[in-house]
C-alpha cells in the first residue's frame, strides 16, 4: 500500500521486531512510501533468512524451483501489495557442465527495501542480525524455505551464515521457544530430538498444505503424540 507523507522524514515510529528495528514504512523516493503490514513483515523475515535475496538497490527476489510453485504463489498472494505488477513467472537456467536445465518460478518486490538490506547483509553477505526475534510465522517460512526432515532429524540449512549468525539463531530459538539445537560439521542447524515436538508445535499452524511433506509423518505421528499428551493431562 502506498502513502504520500509530506516528506519521508515524517515516517511513524514503532517498527520493531523484538529489540531490533526492522522498518515497515519504507521510502524509495521523496514522497512515495510503501507500508508493510505485520503479517507481511513476519513472512518476509522468514523469506530473507531463507531463499530470498535483497539486491543492493532494494528489490527482494523471491524464487523457488518449479516443484514449489504452489508455495511461491502463496507467497505472492501474501506479498503482492509490495511487488511489481508482474505475476510469478518461470525462468530456465542451463548448466552446461552438468548438461542439465533447472526451471524455477520467481517474483520481485519493489525497490523499497534498502534499509532491510542494511540489516540483513554485512559486507555483501547475509547475516542473522543481532537483536532479531522470530515469530512462529517467520520461523515456519524459514523452515519451508530451508528446512527438511531426514527421517531422523529436523534440519535447517544455515550454511550461508557465518558462525556468529548461527550462534545467534541458536540463542534466539532457545530463549524464545525453548528449542535446543546443535550446529553440525556441515554448518547445518539440527533441532535436538528432545526439542522436535516443541519445534513442530511452533511451526505447524503456519505450514501450508503443499509444504507439509517437510514434516515428519504429518498426518499421524506428530498430531497423535500431541493429542495423547492432552488426554493424559485430562486424566
- Tens of pLDDT along 14-73? 344 444 668 787 876 667 888 999 999 999 999 999 999 999 999 999 999 999 999 999
Q: Is the dihedral of CA 226, 229, 234, 235 positive or negative?
A: positive
Choice between 221 and 153, residue whose per-residue pLDDT is larger: 153
Q: What is the pLDDT of residues 105-155, one digit of tens each?
A: 999 999 999 999 999 999 889 999 999 999 999 999 999 999 999 999 999
pLDDT at residue 30, rounded to an integer? 63
pTM summary value: 0.83
Mean pLDDT score of the chain: 85
pLDDT at residue 193, rounded to an integer? 94
From first CA to last CA, the distance across the chain in angstroms is 51
| Sequence ranges of the domains in the chain | 127-235
Q: Percentage of residues in the chain with pLDDT exceeding 90?
A: 70
**83's grid cell:** 511487488
- Average pLDDT rounded to a whole number, residues 194-216: 95
What size, in residues, is the chain?
235
pLDDT at residue 222, rounded to an integer? 45
- Residue 228: is its pLDDT beyond 70? no
CATH value of 127-235 in 3.40.50.970, 2.30.40.10, 1.10.645.10, 3.10.28.10: 3.10.28.10
User: Tell me, what DSSP letter sits at residue 160?
Assistant: T
Q: How far apart are CA 176 and CA 168, in angstroms?
A: 12
Q: How far apart are CA 198 and CA 157, in angstroms?
A: 19
122-127: list long-range contacts, CB under 8 Å, 24+ apart.
125/160, 125/162, 126/48, 126/49, 126/53, 126/160, 126/161, 127/161, 127/162, 127/164, 127/165
pLDDT at residue 12, rounded to an integer? 42
- Average pLDDT rounded to a whole number, residues 7-17: 42
DSSP string over 23-60: -SEEEEETTEEEE--HHHHHHHHHHHHTT-EE-TTS-E
pLDDT at residue 10, rounded to an integer? 40
Q: What is the pLDDT of residues 68-102, one digit of tens each?
A: 999 999 999 999 999 999 999 999 988 877 778 88
User: Tell me, what DSSP letter sits at residue 221?
Assistant: H
Amino acid at each position: 500500500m502506498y502513502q504520500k507523507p509530506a516528506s519521508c522524514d515524517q515516517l511513524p515510529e514503532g517498527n520493531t521486531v523484538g529489540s531490533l528495528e526492522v522498518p515497515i514504512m519504507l521510502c524509495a523516493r521523496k514522497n512515495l512510501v510503501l507500508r508493510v503490514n505485520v503479517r507481511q513483515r513476519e513472512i518476509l523475515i522468514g523469506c530473507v533468512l531463507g531463499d530470498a535475496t535483497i539486491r543492493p538497490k532494494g528489490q527482494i527476489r523471491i524464487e523457488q524451483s518449479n516443484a514449489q510453485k504452489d508455495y511461491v504463489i502463496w507467497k505472492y498472494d501474501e506479498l503482492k501489495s509490495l511487488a511489481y505488477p508482474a505475476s510469478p513467472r518461470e525462468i530456465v537456467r542451463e548448466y552446461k557442465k552438468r548438461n542439465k536445465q533447472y526451471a524455477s518460478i520467481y517474483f520481485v518486490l519493489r525497490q523499497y527495501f534498502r534499509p532491510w538490506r542494511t540489516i540483513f547483509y554485512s559486507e555483501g553477505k547475509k547475516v542473522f542480525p543481532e537483536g532479531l526475534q522470530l515469530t512462529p510465522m517467520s520461523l515456519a517460512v524459514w523452515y519451508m524455505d530451508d528446512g527438511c526432515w531426514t527421517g531422523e532429524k529436523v534440519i535447517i540449512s544455515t550454511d550461508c551464515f557465518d558462525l556468529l549468525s548461527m550462534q545467534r539463531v541458536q540463542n534466539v530459538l532457545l530463549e524464545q521457544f525453548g528449542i535446543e539445537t546443535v550446529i553440525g560439521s556441515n554448518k547445518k542447524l539440527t533441532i535436538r530430538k528432545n526439542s522436535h515436538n516443541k519445534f513442530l508445535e511452533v511451526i505447524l499452524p503456519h505450514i501450508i498444505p503443499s509444504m507439509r511433506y517437510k514434516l515428519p509423518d504429518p498426518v499421524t505421528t506428530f498430531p497423535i503424540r500431541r493429542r495423547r499428551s492432552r488426554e493424559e493431562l485430562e486424566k
